[in-house]
A and B are shown apart, each in its own frame.
Chain A
Amino acid sequence: MKLSRSDAEDFLIRETALLDSWKLMEWADLFTEDGEYLVPATDDPEGKAGKSLFLIYDDRHRLGERAKRLLKPTAHSEFPHSRTRHMISNVTTAEGDNGAIPVSCNFVVFRSRMEVTNIYPGHAEYLLVQGGDGLRIRSKKAVLDVDALRPHGKISIIL
C-alpha cells in the first residue's frame, strides 16, 4: 500500500505541530503499541539500534514516559519549557510491506531557551501504519546531520 506525498506531509505537519505546542501526550498517542522512537549517535548515523550506542532508543513505554517526564517541572532541562519550531520538507513515501508505509523527510528543529537558540538539522525515517482511526507511527528515526551535540549539549526536546 502507498500513501500520497500530500497525505504523508499532512500527517508530519500534524505530528510536529503537536510537538511545537507541547502536546506531548497527544504526540505519544500517535504511536502504535509496538512503536519506537530512535536517534542514532552523531558519529554512527548508519548504526543499528541494539548494536550501536544510540542517543535515544525508546520503546513505546519509554517514549510515553519521555513525553510525561518533559511535562513535569522537575524535568529541569525543559523547565521552563523551551520554544521549538519544527520545519519539515522533501517528504517522500514508498511502497511498504506488511502494511507499514516508509515515509522520510528532512527536518530542522530550532530550540530556544534562556536566550540561546540551537539548531538540529537532519532527516527522519518513519514507518506509518493505517489504523481504523487514521495513520499511526510504528517507527520514527531521526538522524542528525551534526558531528557532535555541540553546541547543543543535549536533546531534551523531541525531534
Chain B
Amino acid sequence: MQLSDLIIDDRHQARFKVHRSAFVSDEILALERERVFSKCWLYLGHSSELKKPGDFISRRVGGRPLLYTRGKDNALHALYNTCPHRGALVCRERSGNRRAFTCGYHAWTFDDCGRFLGMPGREALPPEATEDGKLDLVEVERMEEFRGFVFVCFDRNAMPLRDYLAGAAEYLEYVADQGRDGMEIVTGTQDYCVNANWKLLQENSADGYHGVPTHSTYFDYIRSRDNSNFGGMNAKGWVKNLGNGHAVSESIGLLPWGRPYARWAPGWGEEAKAEVETLNREIMQRLGPERGNVVANGDRNLLIFPNLVVNDVMATTIRTFYPVRPDHMEVSAWCIAPTGESESSRDRRLRNFVEFLGPAGFATPDDVEMLELCQRGYANAASAPYNDLSRGMLSNAPTKTDELQMRTFWRRWHQLVADDAARELTGP
C-alpha cells in the first residue's frame, strides 16, 4: 500500500474511503509519531492548573514524559522529565509544589524552572560543565498559551500556536468566555484507555450520526428524568472545516440537556432555574445578545488536530489521547469550569458532566465499546479494506450527522503522513 493510496477522496462520485491499514499498521504509527505528534501543537494543560510558583504536574504528552511547572519566576515551563545525567525521571509524583526536583539515582538537583542546582561531588567535573545551562533539564522546544490553553510543540520551526489554531481559536474563546473571572480545571481527572486506534476517538468525538443508535439509553434517561420527548435526529446543526485539520460540529439551543452556563433543563428543578437564568443574563450583558447566545446556548464538539477534543455540551470537557500501539490509546479528560462558580452551579456541572461523559457515564462506555468493536473488525482488513466517510459530500450545508468533520481530520492527516503538502485540505 502506497501512502498516497491510504485515502480515496473522490469528489465527483462523493466517495471518501480510508484504508484500514491506517488503524493497524506499526509502520503508519511510526510515521504518525514522526510526522504528526512531533510536528503539531499538542495540548499540555491549562494555566489554571498551576496557581503558584513551585506548582508542578508531570504529564505524558505525545508519549513523552514532561514536567509542567510554574517556576519561581511565576512563568510556565515545559521541561522534559529526564535527568541530563543518565536519563531517569527526575519527578515521579503526579503533581504538587516543589522548589527543586532531585533525581533519585545520583541526586542531581534542578530548580522549578529546570535549572541545574547541584550534584554530589561536583569537583569531579570541570567548572565549565554546568555553564550556560549545559546540565539544565531540557526545555520543550516550543510552548505557547492561548486564552489559558497551554500547548507544546516538539518542532522548533513550527508556526505560532495562534496561526496553527486557525478557525479553532474562535471556538476556544467561546469556552474561555463562559466565566466572568476566567476558567479553571476542576480537580479529578478521568484517565482511561481504549483498545482501539487513537484516530477513532477523534472521529467519534464530533460524530452526530452515532448519537441515537449508540446512545439511546442516555436519551432514555433524559426522557425519564425530564419527561421530555426528545426525538434526537432533529438536532442537525452544522459542521465546519476550521482549517489545518480542525473542525467543529455545532448547534444552538436544540439539544435536550441542560448547560450549567447557562441553559436550564427541567431535571434540575425549579430552584436551579433562577440561578441559571441569572447566569444567562450575566453572559448576555457581558458579551452582547448574539455572542452571549452562542456561548450560553450553543453545544459544540470541537476537534483540534490531531488529538484534542473540547466538548462544550452538558458540561465542558477537555480530552486528549495518544497511541501506545496501533490498537491501544490512553485517554485523559478534564472538566473546565468558570473560576469562582457558586457551589450549587459547580455541583450541577459535575453531576451533569458524568451523566453522559467519562468512562463511567451513561454514554462514553458505549463509545469505548464501539471503537473497540471497530478495531476488532479491522482484523478483516485484508479482505474488507475500507472505512466509508462519505456522508454529506453532496451537501452544501453539511449537518452534524454528516461526516465533513472526519474528512477534514483525515485530509490533514493524509497530508502529513504522506508528506505531501500539495494535498487539498478543503473540500466537501
Please tell me which one of the listed residues A53, A66, A147 contacts residue B186 in the complex, with CB atoms under 8 A apart: A53
Q: Report which residue of A57, A61, A154 has the largest number of chain B beta carbons within 10 angstroms of its beta carbon.
A: A154
Q: How far is the CB of B190 from chain A (nearest CB, A)?
A: 6
Flag A1-40 by CB within 8 Å of B: 1 or 0 each.
Answer: 0000000000000000000000000000000000000011
Q: How far is the CB of A76 from chain B (nearest CB, A)?
A: 4
Q: How far is the CB of B311 from chain A (nearest CB, A)?
A: 14
Say yes or no: A50-B343 contact (C-beta < 8 A), given A69-B220, A74-B216.
yes
In the complex, chain B residues whose CB is within 8 Å of the CB of A47: 187-188
Say yes or no: A156-B192 contact (C-beta < 8 A), given A51-B346, A59-B351, A69-B221.
no
B195 touches A153 (CB 8 A): yes
In the complex, chain B residues whose CB is within 8 Å of the CB of A76: 214, 366, 369-370
Cα distance A54–B350 in the bound complex, in angstroms: 8
Cα distance A47–B370 in the bound complex, in angstroms: 31
Question: Does A105 make an interface contact (CB < 8 A)?
Answer: no
A44 touches B193 (CB 8 A): no
For window 136-158 of B, CB contacts with A under 8 Å fall at: none
For window 193-249 of B, CB contacts with A under 8 Å fall at: 193-195, 214, 216-218, 220-221, 224-225
Cα distance A57–B350 in the bound complex, in angstroms: 8
Q: Look across to chain B and name the residue whose beta carbon is closest to the beta carbon of A39.
A: B360
For window 64-123 of A, CB contacts with B under 8 Å fall at: 65-66, 68-69, 72, 74-78
Please tell me which one of the listed residues A65, A74, A75, A153 contacts residue B194 in the complex, with CB atoms under 8 A apart: A153
Q: How far is the CB of A107 from chain B (nearest CB, A)?
A: 16
Say yes or no: A43-B360 contact (C-beta < 8 A), given A50-B343, A153-B193.
no
Cα distance A39–B365 in the bound complex, in angstroms: 15
B347 touches A156 (CB 8 A): no
Flag A118-153 by CB within 8 Å of B: 1 or 0 each.
Answer: 000000000000000000000000000001111111
Question: Does B25 make an interface contact (CB < 8 A)?
Answer: no
In the complex, chain A residues whose CB is within 8 Å of the CB of B354: 53-57
Please tell me which one of the listed residues B94, B192, B366 contacts residue A149 in the complex, with CB atoms under 8 A apart: B192
Cα distance A78–B368 in the bound complex, in angstroms: 11
Q: How far is the CB of A80 from chain B (nearest CB, A)?
A: 11
In the complex, chain B residues whose CB is within 8 Å of the CB of A154: 192, 359-360, 364-365, 368
In the complex, chain B residues whose CB is within 8 Å of the CB of A151: 193
Question: Does B335 make an interface contact (CB < 8 A)?
Answer: yes
A52 touches B359 (CB 8 A): no
A155 touches B365 (CB 8 A): yes
B334 touches A53 (CB 8 A): yes
Question: Does B23 make an interface contact (CB < 8 A)?
Answer: no
Q: Look across to chain A and name the residue whose beta carbon is closest to the beta carbon of B324.
A: A150
Question: Does B174 make an interface contact (CB < 8 A)?
Answer: no
Chain A contact residues: over half helix, strand or loop, or mixed? loop
In the complex, chain A residues whose CB is within 8 Å of the CB of B359: 55, 149, 152-155
Q: Look across to chain B and name the residue whose beta carbon is closest to the beta carbon of A71.
A: B217
A56 touches B188 (CB 8 A): no
User: Interface size for chain B: under 10, 10 to 19, 20 to 34, or 35 or more residues?
Assistant: 35 or more
A50 touches B350 (CB 8 A): yes
Cα distance A152–B360 in the bound complex, in angstroms: 11
Q: Look across to chain A and name the residue whose beta carbon is closest to the beta carbon of B222.
A: A65
Q: Look across to chain B and name the residue whose beta carbon is closest to the beta carbon of A61.
A: B225
Question: Does B426 make an interface contact (CB < 8 A)?
Answer: no
Q: How far is the CB of A3 from chain B (nearest CB, A)?
A: 29
In the complex, chain A residues whose CB is within 8 Å of the CB of B335: 53
For window 377-400 of B, CB contacts with A under 8 Å fall at: none
Say yes or no: A44-B188 contact (C-beta < 8 A), given A149-B359, A155-B365.
yes
B360 touches A55 (CB 8 A): yes
In the complex, chain B residues whose CB is within 8 Å of the CB of A52: 186-188, 350
Q: Look across to chain B and name the residue whose beta carbon is closest to the beta carbon of A59.
A: B351
Please tell me which one of the listed residues B188, B217, B334 contacts residue A75 in the complex, with CB atoms under 8 A apart: B217
Q: How far is the CB of B91 from chain A (nearest CB, A)?
A: 15
Flag B340-381 by CB within 8 Å of A: 1 or 0 each.
Answer: 000100110011011100111010111011101000000000
Question: Does B5 make an interface contact (CB < 8 A)?
Answer: no
Question: Does B189 make an interface contact (CB < 8 A)?
Answer: yes
Cα distance A41–B335 in the bound complex, in angstroms: 12
In the complex, chain A residues whose CB is within 8 Å of the CB of B214: 76
In the complex, chain A residues whose CB is within 8 Å of the CB of B369: 76-77, 156
In the complex, chain B residues whose CB is within 8 Å of the CB of A68: 220
Question: Does B419 make an interface contact (CB < 8 A)?
Answer: no
Question: Does B191 make an interface contact (CB < 8 A)?
Answer: yes
B362 touches A69 (CB 8 A): yes
In the complex, chain A residues whose CB is within 8 Å of the CB of B190: 41, 53, 55, 149
Q: How far is the CB of B168 from chain A (nearest CB, A)?
A: 24
Say yes or no: A43-B94 contact (C-beta < 8 A), given A149-B192, A151-B193, A153-B192.
yes
In addition to A55-B190, A65-B225, 14 A-B residue pairs with Cβ atoms within 8 Å of each other are A44-B187, A49-B350, A50-B346, A52-B188, A53-B186, A57-B350, A59-B351, A62-B221, A74-B216, A76-B214, A149-B193, A150-B330, A153-B359, A154-B364
Between-chain CB contacts (< 8 Å), 25 pairs: A43-B189, A44-B188, A50-B343, A50-B346, A52-B186, A52-B187, A53-B186, A53-B350, A54-B188, A59-B351, A62-B221, A65-B362, A66-B362, A76-B214, A76-B366, A77-B369, A148-B191, A150-B330, A151-B193, A153-B359, A154-B192, A154-B360, A154-B364, A154-B368, A155-B365
| CB-CB nearest 10 A-B residue pairs | A53-B188, A148-B191, A41-B188, A77-B365, A50-B347, A149-B192, A155-B360, A52-B188, A77-B369, A154-B365
